[in-house]
Amino acid sequence: MRKQIVHATLLIFVFVVLSGCALGRKEWPTSVKSEDTFSLKLMDGVRQDGCLMLQIAVTGSPNRLWRASVQYEAVGTEEGQGCEGCPFVPRNAVHFTRDQKGFDLTGNTLRLSICGLEPGIDYRFRVAGKSELSTMAIEYTDVFEALP
């Protein structure tokens, strides 16, 4: 009889321990916005010799910036160009990822450059930043104009 009580007690103990392992709320980890977000702001943009060289301030968590894209369009009256005063429609983009040449992030400053701009043509552009966290929204700068 005593042996049966010990077995029953041991069985109840094992059941309680194992059922306690299944308790608790389980869910996918989520990002903490204050620690995982960043924002972009153009500090300087210079157009020189068919190239556009940009300096962008990355505030918040710059280490989360995985890809930066310079989206741009020529402004003019020819086919494939945006019209002056029309909404910005990026017709071209140059993408830079963290492990590529041309992605120069030092501290909170990102330096990017694109070349091949036609002389004598105005361009509108903005910079888009994508986080390494796939659930985070793409961050954009304002739209700026690069005069010839």
The pLDDT profile of the chain, 148 residues, written as one tens digit per residue, is 677 776 667 777 666 666 655 566 777 777 666 678 999 999 999 999 999 999 999 999 999 999 999 999 999 998 889 988 899 999 999 999 998 999 999 999 999 999 999 999 999 999 999 999 988 899 999 999 998 8
Give dist(CA 39, CA 52) in Å, integer: 21
**Tokens found for residue 120:** 């004598």
Burial 31-43 (b: 16+ CB within 10 A, else e): eeeeebbbebebe
Report whether 67 contacts 131 (CB < 8 A).
Answer: no
Q: Report the pLDDT value the prediction gives residue 132, as an integer from 0 to 100.
A: 94
Q: Does domain 33-146 have CATH number 2.40.280.10?
A: no
